[in-house]
Amino acid sequence: MDELGVGLIGTGFMGRAHALAFRSVGAVFELPVRLRLTALADADGQRAAHCARAWGFAQAYSDWRQLIDDPQVGLVAITTPNHLHFPMAMAALAAGKAVYCEKPLAVTSEQARQMHQAAQAAGVVTRVGYNYQHNPLIVLARELIGNGELGQLVSFQGEFSEDFMADPDSPWTWRCDPQQAGGALADLGSHLLAMARFLMGPVVAVCADTHTVHQERPVRAGAPERRAIAVDDQAHALLRFANGARGSVGSSWIKHGYKNHLAFEISGTLGTLAFDQERLNELRLYRAGQPGFQRLLAGPALPGYAAFSPAPGHQLGYNELKTLEVQELLMAICGQGRDGTDFQEAWEVERLAAAIRLAAREQRWVTL
């Protein structure tokens, strides 16, 4: 393939993050394909046009179906609210296009399963935006684990906490709607579950507890009327992994003081590693026999970092994780990818989240 036309749907936080990544990736990495920013779609046509101009897309659409039908578009990137992932991805797959979809893949695991099957049938490359996995330090962590440097894995303790819903007057949004995969577990926890699977492998059993602390919220910012909330503000679960390790995960969007606290520790018979997304350029590593934890700073010895900077300690930002994600996606489209989080893997993440919800609802262990 010489050239790949990108069609991006959505112009919010994630839409812009995708646009930045697509704009940067060719200047950061030597790519096996030339990218064209073909089209941008937003239901608000004026916004679509404005953003297309600012972000360098050749064409703007107010109807995402037109974008998918555009023959110049070879890759469809989906950054809309969760409940739209399903129809958009299914249409793109039906059109035989590669799909890059934000997480969570879908609002039910049944939808996710159908998307996975459609992707398999279509035989195209798919990827889901679990961008934290593309951090060079996380790739290093996976290599260390894969090489046995932690020994036999024993435990995983993880948490993804933020506080953007901690104020009881934070209003209802679609993230509070269970029909749209709302709640702390779906919104934040799915990143953590994906990370757990990425580093530890499959989970075979879960027990869990979910909790709606603020049971109603203003219908919108500042409004006096309040609306009942059915989704979890926080969730806790115990996990058993197929490799025999045990662990726990927590997810909260009401934990004061935390802004992007995707943190975990993995321990094995030969060592421990610890990570916190709030310091995404650091990994703490302990090897049996050493006097203490080492703090590793990201640097050019790690996979992917050197393309951004030849100097260690200069730090990558959140948006650059997206650039790394896009690079891996493009390599995969050109047949050179390593194993990324495709629709199958994202479906497995949704299955795991569904099992946690079931375990919480029925207050019992659930096996997968």
In the three-class reduction of DSSP (H, G, I as helix; E, B as strand; rest coil), residue 214 is classed as: coil
* 267-326 positions binding its own copies, by CB under 8 A: 267-272, 277-280, 285-288, 290-297, 299, 308-320
- Closest CB to its own copies among 247 and 340? 247
Q: Binding of its own copies at residue 361 (CB under 8 A)?
A: no
To the nearest whole angstrom, how small is the minimum distance from the Cβ of residue 308 to its own copies?
6
* DSSP strand pairing (34-41 vs 59-61): parallel
Among 69, 110, 149, 209, binds its own copies (CB under 8 A): 209
Structure tokens at 343: 């629709």
| CA nearest neighbour of 5 among 330, 262, 277 | 330
Alpha helices in 158-287 (DSSP H): 184, 190-200
Contact 83, 16 (CB under 8 A): no
How many residues bind its own copies, per CB under 8 A?
Answer: 88
* From 13-21, 100-108, 179-187, 216-224, span contacting its own copies (CB under 8 A): 13-21
To the nearest whole angstrom, how small is the minimum distance from the Cβ of residue 314 to its own copies?
4
The 140-179 contact track toward its own copies, x by CB under 8 A, reads ------------x-xx-x-x--x-x-xxx-----------
Q: What angle do CA 5, 7, 11 make, to 5 degrees?
A: 145
Q: Say whether the peptide bond before residue 104 is cis (omega within 30 degrees of 0).
A: yes
Among 138, 139, 208, 330, binds its own copies (CB under 8 A): 208
Among 146, 256, 358, 361, binds its own copies (CB under 8 A): 256
Alpha helices in 36-84 (DSSP H): 45-55, 64-69
* From 79-87, 181-189, 252-260, 329-337, span contacting its own copies (CB under 8 A): 252-260
Among 200, 207, 330, 349, binds its own copies (CB under 8 A): 207
Among 108, 170, 260, 344, binds its own copies (CB under 8 A): 260
* 26-65 positions binding its own copies, by CB under 8 A: 26-28, 30, 54-56
- Closest CB to its own copies among 92 and 296? 296
- Closest CB to its own copies among 39 and 90? 39
* 107-136 positions binding its own copies, by CB under 8 A: none
- Closest CB to its own copies among 222 and 291? 291
- Closest CB to its own copies among 211 and 220? 211
- Closest CB to its own copies among 126 and 133? 133
- Closest CB to its own copies among 222 and 363? 363
The CA distances from residue 72 to 7, 16, 59, 67, in Å, are 9, 21, 10, 9
**Please, which residues have CB within 8 angstroms of residue 184's CB and are 6 or more apart in sequence?**
165, 231, 232, 233, 234, 235, 251, 252, 253, 254
Q: Which residue has the tokens 């027990």?
A: 207
CA-based Rg of the chain, rounded to a whole angstrom? 20
Structure tokens at 95: 């059109």
Burial of 151 (0-12, 13-18, 19+ CB in 10 A): middle
